[in-house]
Amino acid sequence: MNKKIKITLSLLFFAITSTTPVLTEDLDVNISQEISFIDVIHNGEKIRIKREQNTKNMVNPEFGRTSRKCPPFCIQPMNLGNGVETVGELELLGYLKKISNGDESIIVIDSRTKDWVKKGTIPGSVNIPWKLLKPEAGADPFEITEILEKEFNVINIEGLWNFSSAKTLVLFCNGMWCGQSPSNIKTLLRFGYPANKLKWYRGGMQNWEILGFTVVK
């Protein structure tokens, strides 16, 4: 090969390698064929959501139990009805990605009580325990109003709620046996929150942990 051809090939190689994105991680266990990981912001810190790479890793014992006393830990239906959409992990990740890209019209909500959240939650979520929205559980009406207005962007006009600019809420709790996020959703529907702006991740922390996703405490 003459010198001129070698130089040309070298320049071509440089051009290709300098414009080709370099993968920051080469993972064995991806989220899907198209997604290796996503980065989100949690409490002001960037967190990378990916799956556990150790293929011999076992699920967190907290979510390894097959049976819990029912009631209260009874199996929830697949669909809560009233137009509320049930979503899976990929859809939830899509909402988290939109939030990380600056979309302020969406909130992912951990509906569990703080004792559960301390054990670990989904990065990018905010904790609004079900008891804070439910009057029957002792929720303060003024606190409910503050959450609706400041967190969910609901407008109060002379005592009437205007949901035209309300945020899309994606709610979860411990999983298919947990009633905390269904309770939040049913309460919000009773308040008049639009069903098409309520999404339910039924799998919750149980499915999240079983799939080896990143958890933050």
CATH number at residue 141: 3.40.250.10
Question: What single string gives the DSSP state of each residue in 73-113?
Answer: SPPPPS---TTPEEE-HHHHHHHHHHHHTT-TTEEEEE-S-
Choose the weakest-confidence range: 7-16, 79-88, 111-120, 123-132: 7-16
Amino acid at 14: F
User: Does 46 fall in a domain?
Assistant: yes
How far apart CA 133 and CA 114 sit, in angstroms, is 14
Q: Is residue 87 part of a domain?
A: yes
Q: Considering the domain boundaries, does residue 15 fall inside one?
A: no
pLDDT digits (tens, 9 = 90+) for 190-213: 999 999 999 999 999 999 999 999
For 24-69, the pLDDT digits (tens) are: 568 999 999 999 999 999 999 999 999 999 999 999 998 999 999 9
- 75: in domain: yes
Q: Is 43 left (phi over 0), alpha (psi -120 to 50) or beta?
A: left
pLDDT at 182 over 70: yes
Assign 203 to helix, strand or coil: coil
Residue 1 domain flag: no
- Domain housing 101: 25-210
| Pairing outcome for strands 45-49 and 38-42 | antiparallel
The sign of the dihedral angle between the CA atoms of 92, 93, 99, 103 is negative
What is the chain's alpha carbon radius of gyration, rounded to the nearest angstrom? Answer: 22
Position with higher pLDDT, 90 vs 25: 90
Number of structural domains in the chain: 1
**Which residue in the block uniquely carries the two structure tokens 């969910």?**
152
Q: Is residue 45 part of a domain?
A: yes
Residue 205 falls inside a structural domain: yes
Q: Is residue 165 part of a domain?
A: yes
Judge whether 150 and 133 are in contact, CB under 8 Å. Answer: no
As a whole number, mean pLDDT of residues 11-16 equals 36
What pLDDT was estimated at residue 26? 84
Over the stretch 95-149, which tens digit does the pLDDT of each residue have? 999 999 999 999 999 999 999 999 999 999 999 999 999 999 999 999 999 999 9
